[in-house]
Structure 1
């Protein structure tokens, strides 16, 4: 009879054969962006929402929004766009896994639906809410023109959707807006943030803007996937004995599939050593601001260093 160790090794080996090679290569970008800076850079609190209140964020929606913008940039080698889409596609599967497991109260279910709505159209048709992104890329605008155009389209779409359902933003909290309105609001805010935070050189150079967007996407993806350790652990402690056995097997497979991803991410610094504070993107952003404020108010250099992830291995027990 095989020992538990042999069984674990077998399942991990099976997982390793299915590692997301495009995602792994893509996440190498986080090494040049310490602290997952893209988590903070994709939108700014000073940018107003398209309605009176601001919806929360999920991990996936800014990623698919930034990807949409990247596809619309002119003069970008189509091979680079295809590679970006493959990387986001592989990452999206694990992002969904994180959000489904850690959004236990379904607080972000409509925002997550908005991300899926956008992603299906981007992945299959190179469109964002029926806006042809590749057509936008051939219209000869520079990156600034693309951002301004998409920002205006997002605003128009939001107004159109609100006219169809005037009470959509009044029925409950912004987190329950219709998915298409959430997607439009996110695109507007991201474009406006990029317009206000980019320098003139980036506005004139599509490749520079594409590289910036790619790094932001990698940062947000990487930050989200730092939660994979917790998801893997949760799968080992869920349900009945029979369900737990199946959960352990799936956790071991997942560990094998994401071994290289986790290796990359464990070398990066985190804003907190408490995993619960980093499960959702808004928690991550809020906690990072608190850390920055404390660091700025302290005269001790040691307080300015973010918390490092533990590089210890994750151990699974097969009952």
Structure 2
């Protein structure tokens, strides 16, 4: 450990070494001489920096062990001579006041991380923020599913953050609409899912949630790269001429057909213990479309495609926002990586995540409708739904 020099100590020197040199001269020999001289010069300083870091580590080890040994010696001595009450701390090497080097190092690391975060912040995706502007105070978390829909499976599957988002996006993409609006939705959902999967990976770790995450990732890749849902095309011309209700019903019927087919060929025990990804995706689509159809039936006004597209966008934004309330906790967890070999990479991921989500976190901090749940409860979408049902007067 002490002879291993972490990359951040020599990161800047390595970047200088890799960076190109701008030449005023067009002479090849001159260019070669300057290039080789630069590499030799920087290689020397990289090696010198490594030696300095190793020496500092050895010094730290020495000043840590010596006080411990001294304390052990004086403790033994004191236990044998009960008549000595003198404070022995002045005889022990004190390192509490010798933290100047460590503080400078920490300041340097902090400055480096702040710089990294600032660079990442500049690349934040405004398209995702535009989608989150459609946020309707988490209403979509409550209404994307309902207990009124009869289950097709022997036992209900849990809900995840990402699967309903992908399912709702599939329906929205299928609605004949402006190509620009559809492309914008796909890009913003893709950006949001990268954060959602980090939340799920960090906080929803049991096997049933891992299966859901894998199913949603596989489904999203099919939507994003092939414009399909379970091998069914989502292209605009497929649903031309269909009303909004007809499109939703088509998804519902197709999902029920897939679930029934898989259920008939699989034992109940296997469906409960290890449901196939295709079944998970189809079951999610069935429940969500049935929920939408139930809401259509209770609505006296006709549901247009434009209105349905806007409704789906709002639900997606609400689920994203609810999920993103967990981002500060995920960032903190990444910074507390216990395995020292992984700590640098983990902190870098945390810094990048913080830089990319700063505006999102600030947006949610301004919201006064975030439920007052504990951290563990807030990590699960089903717990959110349960809390919101109980909060209804």
Whether TM exceeds 0.5 here: the answer is yes
| 1:129 is the counterpart of 2:227 | no
Q: How does 1:196-211 map to 2 (within 5 A)?
A: 196-198=294-296, 199-203=299-303, 205-211=304-310
| 1:37 is the counterpart of 2:139 | yes
Distance in 1 of aligned mates of 2:197 and 2:125: 15
Please name the residue that 1:267 is paired with.
366
Which SS does the other structure have where 1:122 is aligned?
Answer: helix
Please name the residue that 2:121 is paired with.
16
Aligned match for 1:191, one of 284, 289, 314: 289
Q: Over residues 45-69 of structure 1, what are the superposed CA-to-partner deviations in whole Å (9 max), with x where a residue is unaligned? A: 1101212321001101100100011
Superposition TM-score, scaled by structure 1 size: 0.84
Superposition TM-score, scaled by structure 2 size: 0.69
The higher relative CO (CA closer than 8 Å, separation ≥ 6) is in 1
Please name the residue that 1:182 is paired with.
280
Please name the residue that 1:246 is paired with.
345
Aligned match for 1:171, one of 244, 261, 270: 270
Distance in 2 of aligned mates of 1:187 and 1:280: 20
CA 1:231–1:207 in structure 2 vs 1: closer, same or farther (change >3 Å)? same
In the alignment, structure 1 segments of 5+ residues that lack a partner are 297-319
Q: Is the CA contact (8 Å cut-off) linking 2:142 and 2:389 kept in structure 1?
A: no
1:172 to partner: Cα distance: 5.8
Q: Over residues 170-207 of structure 1, what are the superposed CA-to-partner deviations in whole Å (9 max), with x where a residue is unaligned? A: 22636x3111011111101111100111325352x101
In the alignment, structure 2 segments of 5+ residues that lack a partner are 1-103
1:114 to partner: Cα distance: 1.7
Aligned match for 2:158, one of 32, 56, 76: 56
* Structure exhibiting the larger radius of gyration computed from Cα positions: 2
Moved more, 187-196 or 258-267: 258-267
CA 1:147–1:226 in structure 2 vs 1: closer, same or farther (change >3 Å)? same
Aligned match for 2:201, one of 100, 103, 106: 100
Q: Is the CA contact (8 Å cut-off) linking 1:73 and 1:137 kept in structure 2?
A: no
Q: Is the CA contact (8 Å cut-off) linking 1:143 and 1:202 kept in structure 2?
A: no
Please name the residue that 1:258 is paired with.
357
Q: How large is the RMSD of aligned CA atoms in angstroms? A: 1.8
